[in-house]
Amino acid sequence: MIDDDLTRKLGDAGVDLGAMGIQWGNRPDELPTCSIQDRDLRLLRFLHDFNYASTSTLAAMFWGRYGSAIRERLKLLHDVGFVDKLRPRVGRTQGAPEWVYRLTERGWKELRDHSEPADREAFKPAKLTSIAYVEHDVQVAALMTQIAARAAEFVGRSGPLIDAAPFELLGPRSGMIDPRVETRARDASPASDLAGRRVSLGRAHPGVLKPDATMLGVDRHGNRTAVMFEFDRTRRPSKQAERLQRYDWFLTVGWRESRYACLDVEPALLMVCSTCSLLDPFARAAASYLTARTIDPAQQCTENVGREQVGFISRSRLLAGNGTVVQAAGDGFGVREERFAVERLFGSAICS
């Protein structure tokens, strides 16, 4: 028989091992006072919407610069308990990485009492068992911030990107689309009317969509429109089949009975792949998933809206300002490259 101490150690072996790689910020024993400002509330809402964001992302979004005063404000929001801060544990010779922030339950209650959270659901921070779970959300928020910076520079605006960017930015909470509860926009545009066209859904079907990010704005022709972003983590096209079929339904018919019915141009989906080598395989596979069609009997023509409004792009292309995407060919055979969603919908403000 082994002793009780060894039994306990065996039972604890491997438990929360990943969590040990997380360094959490320490709060003082006596919490300081903090007069909440409008910018603080908007920052808390951003964290509620995007889950996690780095110091540099928050600095660019809410100050438009980086400096000691900004770090001090973030430290104060942490010390009073409105946000948590964390980073990976590293050796002394590697240098300390920047802090990553997330909303706390107290911060959510402050937001709820003084402003409007990103959604109406009760909130409680997730228990983290590994720093790796933070990586995706941090990268999404940072990449959307870089797009916002490029857009603001193009239109000649400066300052906090949350105001300077020529579009509204939504995270996965405020951008979630649930067909069961969506209501048609009161100011629905003529573009949302099928106008005598018939619909063949094929494999498309309704379902909840939770884009990693959504941009709402006006294109270079003055049309209201939207681009939804999904960041693939699977590296396997077959893993996106169900999601693409739900988007196919939404882009073909669902948006017409939702809050997006006010748009002048159908929304688009931009799926961001980790490498350029994945673009062709994803686009080829998408042809078999994006099967919904609208049929115009008078003109005797059909349109595969999903294949027109879904594009695949790599993270490196977005970072370089290259708006060329790969799409499934309209006839379902092969692929094509086009200057698509981000450029076509928001002009050169985002892609050079």
Which residues, in sequence order, are bridge partners of residue 324?
A: 339
Task: Quote the CA–CA distance of 325 and 283 in Å, as a whole number.
Answer: 10
Instruction: Select from 81, 109, 138 the last residue of a domain.
Output: 138
Model confidence band, residue 94 (pLDDT cutoffs 50, 70, 90): low
> How large is the C-alpha radius of gyration of the chain?
23
Q: Are residues 182 and 282 in the same domain?
A: yes
In a domain, 164, yes or no: no
pTM of the model: 0.90
In a domain, 147, yes or no: no
Q: How much is the average pLDDT of 46-57? A: 97
In terms of residue numbers, what domain contains 44?
Answer: 17-138
Task: Quote the CA–CA distance of 136 and 64 in Å, as a whole number.
Answer: 23
Number of domains comprising the chain: 2
Task: State the pLDDT at residue 154.
Answer: 83
Residues 234-270: tens digit of each pLDDT: 999 999 999 999 999 999 999 999 999 999 999 999 9
In a domain, 153, yes or no: no
Q: Are residues 207 and 322 in the same domain?
A: yes
> C-alpha 102: how far from its chain's center?
15
In a domain, 159, yes or no: no
Select the more confidently predicted residue: 132 or 209.
Answer: 209
Please state, rounded to an integer, the average pLDDT across all residues of the chain: 88
Task: Quote the CA–CA distance of 201 and 199 in Å, as a whole number.
Answer: 6
Task: State the pLDDT at residue 213.
Answer: 97
Residues 173-196: tens digit of each pLDDT: 999 999 999 999 999 999 999 888
**Alpha helical stretches, state H, the chain:** 4-12, 38-50, 55-62, 68-79, 105-114, 132-154, 161-164, 241-252, 279-289, 305-309, 315-319, 341-346
Q: How much is the average pLDDT of 322-335? A: 77
Cβ atoms within 10 Å of 123's Cβ, excluding its own? 18
Q: Give residue 184's identity as a one-letter amino acid code.
A: R
Task: Quote the CA–CA distance of 145 and 58 in Å, as a whole number.
Answer: 9
In a domain, 144, yes or no: no
- Residue 10 vs residues 5, 172, 309: alpha-carbon distances, Å: 9, 40, 54
In a domain, 132, yes or no: yes
Q: How much is the average pLDDT of 329-346? A: 60
Task: State the pLDDT at residue 38.
Answer: 96
Task: Quote the CA–CA distance of 98 and 121 in Å, as a whole number.
Answer: 30
What CATH number is given to the structural domain containing 113? 1.10.10.10
